[in-house]
Amino acid sequence: MSSVPASAFLALALILFCIGLYGALTKRNTVIVLISIELMLNAVNINLVTFSKYGMAPSITGQVFALFAISVAAAEAAVGLAILISLYRTKKTVNIDEMDTMKN
Amino acid sequence: MNLHAVLTILVFSPLLGIVILAFMPKQAEKLIKVVGLLATVPALLIAIAAYLHFQWGKDLADFAVSTSWIQFRGMGGVPEPFFSVNYELGLSGFQLVLVVLTAVVATLSALAAAKFVKKEWKGYFMLFLLLEIGMLGVFTAENLILFFIFFEITLIPTFFLIGKWGYFEKEKAAYSFLIYNGLGSAVLLIVIMILFGKTGTTNIEMLTKIIADPSAPLSGDLKLGLLISLLIAFGVKLPIFPLHSWMLKVHVQAPPSVVMIHSGILLKIGAYGLIRFGMGIFPEQFKTLATLIAILGVVNLLYGAFLAFIQTDFKMVLAYSSISHMGIVLIGLAAMNEAGVQGAIFQVISHGLISALLFFLVGVLYERTDTSLIENLGGIAKGMPIAAGFLLAGAMASLGLPGMSGFVSEFMAFLGLFKELPWIAAVGTIGIIMTAAYLLRAVLGMTYGKAHREFTGVLDLRGVELIPVGVLMLLIVLIGVFPSVLSSPLQTTLETIMLGLGG
Amino acid sequence: MMENAWLIPLFPLLSFLILLLFGKRLKEASAYVGILLTLASLVFSILVLFERFSEPTYITKFNWLTIGDLHLTAGFEVNQLNALMLFIVSLVSFLVHTYSKGYMNGDERFPVFYAYLGLFTFAMLGLVISPNLLQTYIFWELVGVGSFLLIGFYYYKEEAKAAAKKAFIMTRIGDVGLFIGMILLFWETKSFEYSAIFAAVDAGAISGTMITLTAILIFIGAVGKSGQFPLHTWLPDAMEGPTPVSALIHAATMVAAGVYLVAALFPLFAASKTALLTIAVIGAFTAIFAASIGLVQTDIKRVLAYSTVSQLGYMMLALGSAGYVAGVFHLMTHAFFKALLFLAAGSVIHAVHTQNIEEMGGLWKKLKFTGPLFLIGTLAISGVPLFSGFFSKDEILIAAWEGGHPILFLLALIAAFMTAFYMFRLFFMVFTGEARGDQKHVHESPNNMTYPMILLGVLAVIAGYVNTPWFGSFLGDWLVDGNPALGHGHIEGPIWIMIAATVVSLAGIYFAYMMYYKRSIARNTISGTGDTLHTILLNKYYVDEFYQLTVVAFTKGLSYFLRFIDVFLVEGLVKGVVGIVQGLGRTGSKMQTGQVQTYGAVAFIGLALLAVIFALTGGYLR
């Protein structure tokens, strides 16, 4: 197992993060945007776990943090979807371009 | 006797008034006015006591106080010593006379306010007392941070006092005031921070020593830059020629009692800062700029005088006249010798008293006649002989009549400059003629001649109103006849400055 | 006594203060306060004068103002000139105080008038005992204010207002000259003391150019105060003030202050040929210039005013020709006879309530005292032998001739002719012939007005005998005693000068007699060729108009130009800055689209940039 280098994990995380970022910044459907944000969170989780194993001072802290992130992400997804649904009910749309109430 | 607490009590004594006022009902007009007025009295008494303390030959250093206040470590984890800011108040001769001036004008202005302010006395007096704390603090602070804090304390109450109790375009004037002065104090803050960062201290005395030391970590260019920044920061306040337009609006729109304070004291902070920090901390660089400052002074003097000559509103005449008179301060400073600097300081005090007097009279006139336009006022000497007399006397003091304070300062400033830069000084003397021309034009236009309209029920000065004019006039004449009352406290300050200038 | 000379100015000051504070309650009694206190001054002055005859100069000083190492002093000095001036000023002031009780009777601001008189007298007496230039300057300005207040006494009259303003500003122009000269001298000698200045001049410590420059600058001050050309125009206008004031200030004392100043600083002036020549030329020109204007004026006070200007020119000419004694002598005699003439004119005005001589005439019989007294004054000023003016004018002519200024001498001679002519023109038109105006209620003035005039009349006759070629030049010898820099007590001149002066003045009187009494020569003989000359003279050579068109217009123009700058350039600059800030704000707010994704992109790019910077610099911006 030890033959897989740390850089491979990091590269995976990077790719995941970039895909997530791309999706978050370009997709018009709000659900897709939320999913993209989950991708980025998971990229971070991979990083955390990687460094907990291969970092300068390996310890369990990174994995604990990853677990924390997963649980927070779950909570966030629940709240986010709830907001999304209530938005859909009032605006009749999930298109992110039309959600510009911050401007006013 | 332990006198270390005196200055703190002096500076914060108006706070007591603020606290009492805070618990008073808004409608208790009489009581509010009495409390507001009385709250200024302790500072006045302490200031006078301090002056007598000096005149009895005791040392002003008795009053100095210094306690540690704020401390923090250097940034960036580098093991540097503690940066510490002390709470330091002190009193030199120069500061002493300014504190006395402040206390006197503040009390008289409170008296004027009790007369002229027509609404919301509670708010007015609370802000006013806060302003007094700021002013007293500015003149007694011994380090730059403390100075800056007090400096800012003066800005905010003034802003509200102008914006709420002023005349028609009060909001505009208030914003104009805040923006200019805010920018000025931003520049000041930058200077203070650079000095603090480079030297690790903000104590004025220590700064002076460090910067005079050739091994100081400041290059000559940086010092020059800092001095120019100071010139801009305090130039807004003074005001120096292109930075003056806010002050015109304030003079015209602010209520008379505030203008008394503003023209009498607040503008002087600019001069105080220039002398204490500009000249005190950067003497070498000040020398390089002397010619420039002299020219700026003459420009101020003439520019203000010529513009005052054609104004139709007496308040505008006085506003431009303030610009003109502050030119004399610059002229005196540019001379860089004892006569010039003492002249500049005298001018600061003298103009404070004179403009307080004249603006009080403007307030009286406006209250009686609803106008301050020269052509509308003609011939009021008939209905109000006492007011007209004081107006004329004030104008005479302002145009530098011997026997009054204006002359002594004007004379010394020119005496100083003629030694160093005779040609610039010679140009400046045109200002002496112009001052006479515009003041007489305005004052005679208002008081002499045929009355243009009947001022029915116009009353002359009476009762309490005679106190401010009387006291101010007395002080003006006192300084004019016995200038040593003012010059004796100044000698040590002058020596210090001259020492810095190297001769 | 001399050590108490400082009290002399303080009595009138006391009068001023009392009347200022309690005048309203004292009402008519104010006059007594003023009269008694000036009488005290007069008594002290006389005592001081007599003591000075036998004792040396007394001088004392104390520290007034400390500027670092410089100690400016104040004090007083009683030398010959000062003692004489003290006497002249306090005497005329006392007489005018007395006279005014009748003249100003019934005026509602009676106490104010006396208060102002007190202020002026204080300043004038203070001026003449000053031991240094700074103190002189201080009182110099204060007399200006006294004069200003009294000219503008009838403050509700537009003319009085304008005249007061003009007087103050025009003299101030001169004062600035004095101010600069004084300061320049100070830096040369490190002292304002007269004695120190003279010592420096003597020792040659000041360069010749500097002496000339400062002397001329100080002379500019004298030009302003003494109404010399080109700053003379305020003096005739100053006649808007009450007549006793004209007698006191604008004839006898303040306007002579310029002459006094030049006399007091004479050793300085004497050290510069150029400065002396300037003074002589200005003096002579003013003498003839003002006399020519006086020929045609119809206001009794204005004629006297121009004659004052002209006579002051004479004094300047004397000083400029190194005739120190002649100048001071004429100052003294002039003070007496001109004060007399003004008081008499005041008495006439008091009687007929007009100042226009075309509306007078035939008053000789109605004004039993005023008429003869006016005649004495007229004879004295015209230089008729045996009257005081004859001796002093003679001294001046000799000084001018011996000083080597034949052209100026000629000018002075012509001016003497004109003086005799216009003064007698005045006399004949006022006192002889038919009454031309409404003269029903003409009456002689009360005693308190005539007595001062009688005393002045006596002095106008006898004052000349203190310094004559016949009985010895007592005054002259005393004035220059112990001070060789002032020249000789008496200058011997050829006898023909005295004869010429007499002939000229008699000729002037004769012409006036023929023209205005006999009327055998038509009044327009001189100007018969056309009215141009007459018009020019009547309009005073259009000097006022010239100033109006040049100096005043220029000042106004410059002011409006600067206002243009203030409103458009300075304010415009501010508006520009405000505009830029507002524009930036608008652009910024347009970028706020409300699109979450745009914000996210911008935030990410920012983060990326920070990361790059971090990577490149290694963490700190240095």
- Answer whether residue B140 is part of any domain: no
pLDDT of residue B474: 92
Element (H, E) at B410: helix B405-420
Q: Least CB-CB distance to C596: which of A21, A96, A104?
A: A96
A45 in any annotated domain: yes
Q: Chains A/C: 3 or more C-beta pairs closer than 8 A?
A: yes
Domain contains A101: no
Q: Which residue has the tokens 């524009």?
A: C583
Top-confidence residue, B243 or C530: B243
Q: Does B25 map to a domain?
A: no
Q: Do chain C and B touch: 3 or more Cβ pairs under 8 angstroms? A: yes
Residues on chain B touching C70 (C-beta within 8 angstroms): 338-339
Closest by Cβ to C142, choosing from B338, B403, B419: B403
Determine, for residues C173 and B440 on separate chains, whether the beta-carbon distance falls below 8 Å.
no
For C:180-209, CB contacts with B below 8 A are 180, 183-184, 186-187
What 3-state class would DSSP assign to C506?
Answer: helix
Mean pLDDT of chain B: 87
Closest CA in chain C for residue A101 = C594
- pLDDT value for B413: 92
Range of the domain at A40: 6-91
Query: Of the candidates A47, A58, A62, A49, which has an alpha carbon nearest to the alpha carbon of residue A12?
Result: A47
The number of C-beta contacts closer than 8 angstroms across B and C is 123
CB-based contact (8 Å) between C108 and chain B? no
User: Is A24 in contact with C593 (Cβ distance < 8 A)?
Assistant: no
Give me the CATH number covering residue A63: 1.10.287.3510
- A98 domain residue, yes or no: no
Q: Which pLDDT band holds residue B377 (cuts at 50, 70, 90)? A: confident
In a domain, A104, yes or no: no
- For the CA atoms of B257, B260, B262, B265, the dihedral, rounded to the nearest 10 degrees, stands at -130
Identify which of B381, B402, B498 has the shortest CB distance to residue C137: B402
Q: How many structural domains does chain B have?
A: 1
The answer, for C589 touching chain A at a CB cutoff of 8 Å, is no
The answer to whether the CB of B130 falls within 8 A of the CB of B106 is no
Q: Give phi and psi for B457, each to the nearest 5.
A: 70, 20
- The nearest CA of chain A is from the CA of C604 a distance in Å of 9
Contacts of A25 in chain C (CB under 8 A): 597, 600-601, 604
Counted residue by residue, chain C has a size of 622
**CB-based contact A25 C600, cutoff 8 Å:** yes
How many angstroms separate the first and last alpha carbons of chain B?
36
Q: Do C161 and B483 touch (CB under 8 A)?
A: no
Whether residue B106 has pLDDT greater than 70: yes
C363 — phi, psi (to 5°)?
-90, -5
**pLDDT classification of B329: cutoffs 50, 70, 90:** very high
A97 within a domain of the structure (yes/no):
no
C534 CB-side CA count, 13 A: 10
Tokens 């007097």 locate to B357
Q: Give the 3-state DSSP-derived string for B205-243, with helices as H, strands as E and coil as C.
A: HHHHHHHHCCCCCCCHHHHHHHHHHHHHHHHHHCCCHHH
Residue C564 region, left (φ>0) first, then alpha (ψ -120 to 50), else beta? alpha
- Beta carbons of C199 and C503 less than 8 angstroms apart: no
Q: Does residue A85 lie within any of the structural domains?
A: yes
Q: Would residue A79 count as lying in a domain?
A: yes
Sort out which chain C residues have CB atoms less than 8 A from B422's CB and list them: 184
Whether the predicted pLDDT of B132 surpasses 90: yes
- Chain C positions touching B429 (Cβ under 8 A) are 176, 179-180
- Contact between chains at A102 and C594 (C-beta distance less than 8 A): yes
Q: Is C13 on the interface with B (CB under 8 A)?
A: no
Cβ neighbours around B419 below 10 Å, total: 18
Min Cα separation C489/chain B (Å): 36
- C601:A25 CB<8 A: yes
Is B391 among the domain residues? yes
User: In angstroms, rounded to a whole number, what is the distance separating the alpha carbons of residues C199 and C195?
Assistant: 6
Residues of chain A found within 8 Å of residue C601, distances taken between Cβ atoms: 25
C66 close to B (CB below 8 A)? yes
Q: What residues of C are in contact with residue B491 (Cβ under 8 Å)?
A: 66, 68
Number of A–C residue contacts, CB under 8 Å: 25
Neighbours of C270 (CB within 10 A): 20
Structural domain contains residue B453: yes
What is the number of domains present in chain A? 1
ipTM: 0.90
Low-confidence ranges of chain A (pLDDT < 70): 1-2, 102-104
What pLDDT, on the 0 to 100 scale, is given for residue C294?
Answer: 85
Contact C161 B448 (CB under 8 A): yes
Which of C138, C165, C574 comes nearest B444 by C-beta?
Answer: C165
Choose the closest CB to C595 out of A24, A100, A104: A100
Give me the average pLDDT of each 10-residue run along chain C (622 residues): 83 90 83 89 90 84 84 87 89 90 84 90 90 90 90 87 89 91 89 88 86 91 88 87 87 86 89 89 90 85 89 89 86 90 88 81 80 88 86 86 85 88 87 74 80 88 80 77 74 81 87 80 59 76 82 86 84 85 87 80 90 79 51
Closest Cα of chain C to B402: distance in Å?
5
Domain that holds residue B351: 289-503
CA distance C301 to C306: 9
Q: For chain A, how big is the Rg over CA atoms in Å?
A: 17
Whether cis (ω within 30° of 0) applies to the bond prior to C56 is no
The three-state secondary structure class of B297 is: helix
Which residue reads 């040049």 in tokens? C550
Structure tokens at B17: 């008034």
Average pLDDT value for residue range B451-459: 66
In a domain, A103, yes or no: no
| Cross-chain CB nearest to B449 (options C145, C158, C184) | C158
The reply to whether C597 touches chain A by the CB within 8 Å rule is yes
Radius of gyration of chain C (CA): 31
